[in-house]
Structure 1
Amino acid sequence: MSTTSVADPVTQAPAVLGQVTEKLSDLAQGEWWRATESDLVDVLGAVNRLRHELARVEVHATAETLKRGLPKDRCLSPADYLSEAQAQRAPAPPVGHAVNTVRLAEAVQQVSEGVDRTDCLQETVAAFDAGVLAASRAGTIVRFHNEVAPHSPPQALATTMRTINKGAKDSHGPRGMSRDPLGRDHDPNSIVRRRGWSERELRTILSQARRIIKPATESEREEERGRAFRTLHSITRENGMTEYALVVEPEAAATIDAAVSALSAPVKGEDDTPDPRTPAQRRADALLTVIRRGVSAPDGVPKTTKAQVMVTIPLADLLSTTQGAGITATGQVLSPGTVRRMACDAGVIPAVLGSQGEILDLGTKVRLFTEGQHRALWHRDQRCTFPACTIPAQWCDAHHVEHWANGGPTNLDNGALLCPRHHTYVHSLDLTATVTTTEVTWHT
């Protein structure tokens, strides 16, 4: 009995891709004016599908070159090897494209060799192969995994990756009554692809996840380094205007965002006319208002309460010194140590959550230091209470010597003035102090 052998499609890949390339070249030069709108929409959809299938072919072929060690044999990096191979018959792809392709190819290789310790990459690769996760988003997720895996608990990493993969990939579900770009009604019982997170949404989520999954001590060190890089530059323009460039860490950004957003809402005119200012102009006006109030207030006391920064954090994370994070209403991710320090400020409202997500404590002005208590502390301490510091009282924060999360009361016997720098220092080292009716003595 004779048998007929079927050639592996991979062995025919060069010829098949060559034929497809020729067909596409002829198609690109065709008389597109003949196409109907429906034809154009179908073509664009087919091109997108083809783009993804080509990406799959590219990634798996690149994974095979890595498995064989071909880049090393040529003394090239994997990205350079890929770029040179692709530039032989067409313009070289962007460097970023090559890097992303290699990153995905390395993930494919790890999954095939069984070295993916938590099956996190397997889910990402499977979604990419199934056509529900674009190559760019898949590569971004793999990059996140590679960055955090060395210092993340395996279980926490697996949980985080499952959430990310689920949100980033497309899904399918009932369409409901809707219209396509041509205005045609769809059957409400049909199935439609539902988009996962956009590139921008994914980057935002990964930025937050990167901070949350890291050990709290590492996050606090990053925040401390961030404070060291605060910069403010002013540039005088030819038209007499001045441009300011401000760079700050997440904690400071949360404070600025809260202050500006509270004062930058549109204001209608007396005859109910819309606010003529653009959002950028309203934010600039709000920032100037905040500064004017601060410098013109009598005795250095602002005429209004401080900007309220809402920080949400689980109680276990707030009490922990090794893990977790708090998230502000505007998306900044802060370490528990930073949240504890910020909670001393009457302008910060911590929303403390229990193990089931229920609110255990929503900070209020009553629980925190009042304006009258601030004045009493200014009268008693006169300046920052940390040894040898001369920052005046008006520029200091009221600090709970025994933190409120540990049951510390909000009274003068448990309060001490600290400048922002020493406030951070005291919290980072968890320093204690002895408070009397006349002075504060820090135990350093």
Structure 2
Amino acid sequence: MAITPHVLPHRELAPAGRPVLGGVRAGLAAVRGSVPERIWALSDEEVCDSLTSLADLATATSALLVTVLAEARQRSLGSSQGWDLLDWARAHAPMLPTRTLLDAHAVASAVGDLRLEAVVEAVRAGARPDDPGEDGAAVGGSCIDGSGTDGSGADATSRDREEGEAACWGSDAVLPVGKAAQLVRFNTGVRGLADPAQLEGATRLLLQDSCGPHGLSEKDVGIAVRRTADLLRPDRLVEHEADVRRAHQSLVKSKGPCGLSRYTLLLDEEAAAVVDAAVDVLAKPKPDADTGEHDPRTPAARRADALVDLVRRAVSAPDGQPKQPKTMLTVTVPLEVLQRRCRGAGVLPDGSHVTVDTVRRLACDAHVVPAVLGSHGEVLEQGQAVRLFTRPQLRHLWQRDKRCTFPGCSKPPAWADGHHLIHWADDGPSDVDNAALLCRAHHTVVHRERLGGRVEAGPHGPRVVWDLRPDSYDAHLEEFRAGRKSDGTPPRP
């Protein structure tokens, strides 16, 4: 049975010369004596400076927390009582927020790992002085000069040299612990699947873009880390995980307060973007038409009303015909990625990503807006939207196919999308002889498994015949291209 480690009572202020402890105790005493009840006496500039200084202090204390946890890990503190490092830390610092402790623990676990040395050093830079004094000596620390000495003529150790160099970096080289933890988890999570050289380069680029006050935000670091991890892993694994997320979508009804019903909805990235785009259009505030008064509903109430309105429109549509066009969902993707000439992903408006197969499926039945983007993603030139299948073509498909064309599926045409048998990104034409109706589920299967199909003459008219062998699309594409080449048809620019 584990025994709670004995926590020593608060001791007197440690001598100032003790590493870490002396400075932390002195700093804690100074903060507690800062007289916060008289903050009203500060000018506006001093209030701003106080906030900036508190942010710097938080960064420094987080970096020291990593240092302390790393040292405790090396000494195996708490192990004799049967505690791991996290439990030992919780016992000694019960007021520490859980996320702060978990992030610091993740970074501390990377100390000593040469592959993550740069990440750890960027965190430690937050606790080092960044105000060099005269003759290259940093205030309160040791900044190594070009001679490799510590200012007294003595040879400096390699550790002192690293610390001195970090001290001279300044705030642009400081990495907050929260961002560092994401980089550590990314690196260790894909280490067994990715090429070591590619992983090292990706980690270095992410580190460069995350450091300093102008680096990526924690949210953007998370997005970049997830997408980079997808690029470093095999496509099949990424698509499999997307299928797993899609398979775990759910809608659960339960009782709410005051006779209300609570619906809990779990969706993958694509489905969430579709719902957001549809609901946002109908959830805008609506002033009273007669009095002009502002809409009194809360944002949550407006979204709930919008969702109910969408369902009412759908169930009241005659003969399965929708009363309004499909939801506008914006996905940005480079043409080279769409054509599978390089790896990548589609980007949704909120910055999240969808896989290439998902983008190709959405692009089968969508408005395509050609655009030229700058190096930072800004739109330099934009063309007009082009719908690939026209309404008359879709009506033709409804009459010809009468249902989802995947073998064994009986979903009606109102539940299906138009699919390019040869994708338009591969020069496939947008005509009915290159089209088939597919429900969403089988549309996903066809793109994920890269299944090929063709329109053939049947006893009752044209019908779609599917080749259910995995990757059969490639053979159909080669056959299509060979036919175009023999006809002398040039590829589409």
TM-score relative to the length of structure 1: 0.75
RMSD (Å), alpha carbons: 3.9
Counterpart-to-counterpart distance in 1, 2:329 and 2:253:
27
1:339 aligns to 2:359 (yes or no): yes
1:339 CA drift (Å)? 0.6
Instruction: Identify the match of residue 18 of structure 2 among 13, 17, 28.
Output: 13
Query: Residues 337 and 427 of structure 1 are in contact (CA less than 8 Å); yes or no, is this contact kept in structure 2?
Result: yes
Q: In 1, distance between residues paired with 2:15 and 2:449? A: 61
Residue 187 of structure 1 corresponds to which residue in structure 2?
A: none
SS of equivalent to 1:292: helix
Q: Where does residue 442 of structure 1 map in the other structure?
A: 466
Separation of aligned partners in 1, 2:334 and 2:187: 24
- What one-letter code is carried by the residue in structure 2 that aligns with 1:442? W
Secondary structure of the residue that 2:466 maps to in structure 1?
strand
* Equivalent residue number for residue 248 of structure 1: 267
Partner Cα separation in structure 2 for residue 428 and residue 27 of structure 1: 58
Q: 1:276 to 1:204 in 2, by over 3 A?
A: farther
Residue identity in the other structure for 1:102: H
- After alignment, is 96-105 or 434-443 more displaced? 96-105
Partner of 2:110, secondary structure, is: helix
Give the direction of change, closer, same or farther, for the CA distance of 1:29–1:398 in structure 2 (3 Å limit): same
1:13 partner amino acid: R
Paired residue for 2:104? 101
State the AA in 1 paired with 2:442. H
Unaligned 5+ runs, structure 1:
1-8, 172-194
- 2:241 aligned residue: 222
TM-aligned CA distance change 1:13 to 1:47, over 3 Å = farther
User: Is 2:334 the partner of 1:305?
Assistant: no
Offset of residue 127 of structure 1: 5.2
Q: Quick check: 1:38 aligned with 2:50? A: no
Q: CA separation in 2, counterparts of 1:325 and 1:428?
A: 14
Write the deviation string for residues 256-301 of structure 1: whole angstroms up to 9, x where unpaired.
1222223333334445543333322332233233222222222212
**How many Å apart are 1:374 and its aligned residue?**
1.4
Q: For 1:343 and 1:35, how far apart are their aligned partners in 2?
A: 58
What CA distance in whole angstroms lies between the structure 2 residues aligned with 1:299 and 1:224? 32
Which residue of the other structure, out of 170, 183, 203, is the alignment partner of 2:212?
Answer: 170
Q: CA deviation at 1:417?
A: 1.0
Output the amino acid matched with 1:293: R
Q: CA deviation at 1:412?
A: 0.8
The residue correspondences of 1:223-302 to structure 2 (distance < 5 A) are 223-237=242-256, 239-270=258-289, 272-302=292-322
Q: Secondary structure at the match of 1:310?
A: coil
1:395 to 1:20, Cα distance in 2 relative to 1, 3 A: closer
Asked whether 1:121 is paired with 2:139, we answer no
Matches within 5 A, 1:45-444: 48-67=55-74, 76-83=83-90, 87=92, 91=94, 93-110=96-113, 114-116=114-116, 121=119, 124-125=122-123, 128-129=126-127, 132-153=174-195, 157=199, 160-162=202-204, 164-171=206-213, 196-211=215-230, 214-237=233-256, 239-270=258-289, 272-320=292-340, 323-346=343-366, 349=368, 364-366=385-387, 368-436=388-456, 437-444=461-468
C-alpha distance in 2, partners of 1:37/1:210? 50
The residue type equivalent to 2:18 in the other structure is A
Structure 2 SS opposite 1:438: strand
Identity %: 35
Given that 1:354 and 1:360 are in contact with CA atoms closer than 8 Å, whether structure 2 keeps it comes out as yes
Quick one: distance in 1 between partners of 2:464 and 2:359? 23
**Residues 18 and 68 of structure 1: CA distance in aligned 2, closer, same or farther (over 3 Å):** closer
Deviations 1:131-182 (A, max 9, x none): 53333333233223332444345565456545544454334xxxxxxxxxxx
Work out the CA distance in 2 between the residues paired with 1:254 and 1:32.
45
Cα separation, partners in 2 of 1:148 and 1:439, compared to 1, 3 Å: same
**Contact conserved, 2:250 with 2:267, CA < 8 A, in 1?**
yes
Contact persistence 2:321–2:414 (CA under 8 A): yes
Partner of residue 6, structure 1: none
Distance of 1:75 and 1:327 partners within structure 2:
47
Deviation per CA, 1:49-106, whole angstroms, max 9, x where unpaired?
A: 444434333323433444566677776533344445xx2xx64645544432232223
Contact kept, 8 Å, 2:86 with 2:105, in 1: the verdict is yes
Q: Which is worse superposed, 135-144 or 348-357?
A: 348-357
Partners of 1:395 and 1:134 lie apart in 2 by: 48
The count of residues paired between Structure 1 and Structure 2 equals 401
Alpha-carbon offset, residue 329 of structure 1 = 1.9
- 1:215–1:38 Cα change, 3 Å: farther
Cα distance, 1:128 vs. partner?
4.0
Q: 1:344 to 1:33 in 2, by over 3 A?
A: closer
